[in-house]
Amino acid sequence: MARTAFLLSSLLALAAAQTPGKTKEVHPKLQTWKCTNRGGCVRQNTAIVLDAASHWIHQANDTTKGCGNWGEAADKVACPDEATCAKNCIIEGISDYSENGITTQGGSLTLNMYGKNGVSSPRVYLLAEDEKNYELLKLVGKEFTFDVDASKLPCGMNGALYFSEMEKAGGRSKLNPGGAAYGTGYCDAQCYVTPWVNGVGNIAGKGICCNEMDIWEANKAATQMAPHTCSKPGLYQCTGDECKFDGVCDKNGCGNNPYVLGEKGYYGPGKQYKVDTTRPFTVVTQFNANSKKELESINRLYVQDGRVIQNAMVNVTGPMTDEYCSKNGAVKFLSDGAMKGMGGSLDRGMVLAMSVWWDEGGFMNWLDSGNAGPCNATEGDPKVIQQVEPRPAVVFSQIKWGEIGSTFRMKGRPHH
């Protein structure tokens, strides 16, 4: 689903980078695990980086000015061409991520809506152990697992964990020497215009598109999973009608929300729900392949108190397949590549993104209100959210991926 409101509220007055400045970038470490059924899970000393747009980016000769605003091309004066833009625009590192509402401890990441200077709404990406490149996940025929604490996400909030087909180096180049280490190169299926493309000035004002796999968009009242396909592989720069709803990418995705499927007692805050969101739980997503090693279906499991909870879709619709998407009206998903196309992106490798945000324009109604969830139409207003939960936050932890069946534990089954 579109993160329009999140971007509008947090990416204003930002520059089209990118020459690294004097402030050192210090990445918070975040342990993750790669798993096999035979060898168990092996720890990785990975790290996270905040999106480049949330770094301080300023003009070289005037630190009070940036180089462009979200939704627009690069500033025409500072950025008459790509090379001049890179020379004129400085991206500063972040030495203390806690000021942006981000903390890590071992294998746990906390994203707070507020930072030192007010609303931060951070979005971070997983870096490989070298901290120069993104960790590239290839998940067809495998599973991805994490623990989440959504207890401080009331109606209207969204703690998101998803994959984007960004480039491993974040577009590192002569004009963008920082690359992934500074959080550059973002793209998704919404095809937004930003002042940069892969860290280089977006002189022509093109939209930036790529395949997107929304593993988890949720608060404590509702959750949705949705793959979004694009008809073009990798990062693609769209123009005109290509960027619109009927363009090169599926903006709505093939959604799966237990509440929409009629399982209103499945997910929510309290012991009366099968998945109790007042306490942490484990989310397992399996990307099942066919005999040709192409993505055929996506399956979701939950684990809480050592007990595996089958997803509502298993009981209501069966696994998420092309047939499921067809029955649920995901026409664009199918025409832009369907499961095979989403699998192609997962085969090439995708980057893990995690964020926390609210929706100033639509109050997150698409996720948790009306047919989608139990929240009323105005509960998602940020003014209401702040009264209900003064410090919204999400905790993601125990991030693991590997062979199917290797990443999670349950009662009666040993876990390495």
Nearest CA among 195, 154, 134 for reference residue 354: 134
Report the relative pairing of strands 307-310 and 350-358 from DSSP bridges: unpaired
> For this structure, is 167 an active site residue?
no
Element spanning 40, H or E: strand 40-50
For residue 383, the SS3 value is: helix
Active-site residue identified among 217, 296, 379, 389: 217
Active-site residue identified among 212, 242, 296, 389: 212
Distance CA 3, CA 230 (A): 17
Report the relative pairing of strands 157-164 and 350-358 from DSSP bridges: antiparallel
Cα distances (angstroms) measured from residue 255 to each of 185, 227, 228, 277, 324: 26, 7, 9, 20, 10
- Spell 169-205 as b/e; 16+ CB within 10 A means b: bbbbbebbebbbbbbbbbbbbbbbbbbbbbbbbbbeb
> For this structure, is 143 an active site residue?
no
Beta bridge partners of 35: 41, 402
Identify residue 411 by its one-letter amino acid code: K
**Residues 318 and 256 sit within 8 Å (Cβ to Cβ):** no
Catalytic positions:
212, 217
